[in-house]
């Protein structure tokens, strides 16, 4: 896997929102890379900044700081024209299948918009391409004149996938594409994404808050907490030997389908709630809930460090 080249490199990415006089550090200095053809899973509790990270790295939000490199080229300084061309490479699938499709446009126009913007196809060709994309995501091509409200959540999510695929991207940020769907439909959508990845050599950043689903689909997994990345490793390594106390706690909350093991294992229950991202604890943001917190955890922030080859963590236990 390591011989695959790097497609995306994120360096010290920051996105702060100002709310009144306060600053909300939604994404605070995260760095990682994504290799061509791999799936990087990103997990974390609601509000930890996963969507903001995905959107900032696609330049849907203006980054407060840091850089994003696509195939070695920074996208932060591209002008409008260059950025428009760059957008063909990187797409996004959204969290809410109801809010992510324009209710006033037909499915054909929603998918065709990508073709129109980049002048990829017109007239009969455009229609054929739209129908081809609908078939690709296992939807009936005859439904191209229907409106989004006529479809189910799972079907809508596939329309969103077809829209993203219309520009033939290399990289797709999947922002919790299944968490709004029924369990029975989740597997269908995940399988579709995997098939498409295989067929087209896609690279994914797969955001979720459910660790078990992420393990299934990801090559590597990153864990976020309050705008920071706390651990990043190959998914097997992360699940077998989590280093960061937060990851350990998240993993211990997943039930194991073996009653014997399940009964005897130790469960780490996190104390308290997630602190407000507006006013995070000093030092390590996790220290208010960490069972292993030490005095130095309040004094200074732990550094992001490669603890074992390919296994990164930010925790004073390993600094």
Identity of the residue, 107 or 251, whose beta carbon is nearer to another protein in the bound complex: 107
User: Which residues between 203 and 232 bind ligand ATP (CB under 6 A)?
Assistant: 209
User: Which residues between 133 and 192 bind another protein (CB under 8 A)?
Assistant: 139-140, 143, 145-147, 150-151, 155, 160, 163, 166-167
From the list ligand ATP, ligand SF4, another protein, none, which binds 293 (C-beta under 5 to 8 Å, kind-based)?
ligand SF4
From 26, 30, 114, 165, residue interacting with another protein (rule: CB under 8 A): 114
The count of chain residues that interact with another protein, using the rule CB under 8 A, is 38
The reply to whether 51 sits near Mg ion by the rule CB under 5 A is yes
Which DSSP symbol is given to 51?
Answer: H
Q: How far is the CB of 249 from ligand ATP (least distance, A)?
A: 17
What are the residues binding ligand SF4 (CB under 6 A)? 244-245, 284, 286-287, 290, 292-294, 297, 302, 315-317
Per-residue CA distances from 228 to 196, 205, 232 (Å): 31, 17, 11
From the list ligand ATP, ligand SF4, Mg ion, none, which binds 193 (C-beta under 5 to 8 Å, kind-based)?
none
Q: How far is residue 53's CA from residue 72's CA, in Å, rounded to a whole number? A: 19
From the list ligand SF4, Mg ion, another protein, none, which binds 289 (C-beta under 5 to 8 Å, kind-based)?
none
The reply to whether 39 sits near Mg ion by the rule CB under 5 A is no
Q: How far is residue 108's CA from residue 141's CA, in Å, rounded to a whole number? A: 9
Q: How far is the CB of 22 from ligand ATP (least distance, A)?
A: 10
Does residue 292 contact residue 316 with C-beta atoms inside 8 Å? no
Annotate 112-125 with three-state secondary structure.
HHHHHHCCCCCHHH
Residue 72 CB burial class (10 angstroms; 0-12, 13-18, ≥19): exposed
Identity of the residue, 154 or 177, whose beta carbon is nearer to ligand ATP in the bound complex: 177
CA 309 to chain centre: 23
Does residue 159 contact residue 111 with C-beta atoms inside 8 Å? yes
Q: Hey, is 292 helix, strand or coil?
A: coil
From the list Mg ion, ligand SF4, another protein, none, which binds 60 (C-beta under 5 to 8 Å, kind-based)?
another protein
Which DSSP symbol is given to 289?
Answer: T
Q: Hey, is 10 helix, strand or coil?
A: strand
User: Which residues between 44 and 103 bind another protein (CB under 8 A)?
Assistant: 55, 58, 60, 80, 83-84, 87-88, 90-92, 94-96, 99-103
The reply to whether 155 sits near Mg ion by the rule CB under 5 A is no
Q: How far is residue 182's CA from residue 191's CA, in Å, rounded to a whole number? A: 15
> Which residues of this protein are in contact with Mg ion, per CB under 5 A?
51
């Amino acid at each position: 896997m390591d011989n695959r080249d790097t497609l995306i490199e994120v360096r010290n990415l920051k996105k702060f929102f100002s709310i009144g006089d306060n600053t909300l550090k939604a994404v605070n200095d995260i760095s990682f890379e994504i290799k061509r053809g791999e799936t990087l899973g990103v997990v974390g509790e609601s509000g930890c900044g996963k969507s903001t990270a995905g959107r900032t790295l696609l330049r849907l939000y203006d980054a407060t700081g840091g850089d994003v490199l696509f195939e070695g080229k920074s996208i932060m300084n591209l002008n409008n024209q260059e950025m428009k061309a760059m957008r063909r490479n990187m797409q996004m699938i959204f969290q809410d299948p109801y809010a992510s499709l324009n209710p006033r446009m037909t499915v054909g126009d929603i998918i065709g918009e990508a073709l129109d913007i980049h002048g990829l196809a017109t007239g009969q060709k455009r229609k054929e391409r739209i129908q081809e994309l609908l078939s690709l995501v296992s939807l009936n091509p005859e439904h191209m004149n229907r409106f989004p409200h006529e479809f189910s959540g799972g079907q809508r999510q596939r329309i969103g996938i077809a829209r993203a695929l219309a520009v033939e991207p290399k990289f797709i940020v999947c922002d919790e594409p299944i968490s709004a769907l029924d369990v029975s439909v989740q597997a269908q959508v995940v399988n579709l994404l995997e098939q498409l990845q295989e067929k087209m050599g896609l690279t994914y950043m797969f955001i979720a808050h459910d660790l078990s689903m992420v393990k299934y689909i990801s090559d590597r997994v990153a864990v976020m907490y309050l705008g920071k990345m706390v651990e990043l490793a190959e998914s097997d390594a992360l699940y077998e030997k989590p280093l960061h106390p937060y990851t350990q706690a998240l993993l211990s909350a997943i039930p194991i389908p073996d009653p014997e093991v399940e009964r005897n294992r130790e469960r780490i229950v996190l104390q308290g709630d997630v602190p407000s991202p507006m006013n995070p604890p000093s030092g390590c943001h996790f220290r208010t809930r960490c069972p292993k917190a030490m005095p130095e955890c309040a004094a200074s922030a732990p550094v992001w460090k490669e603890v074992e080859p390919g296994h990164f963590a930010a925790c004073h236990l390993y600094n």
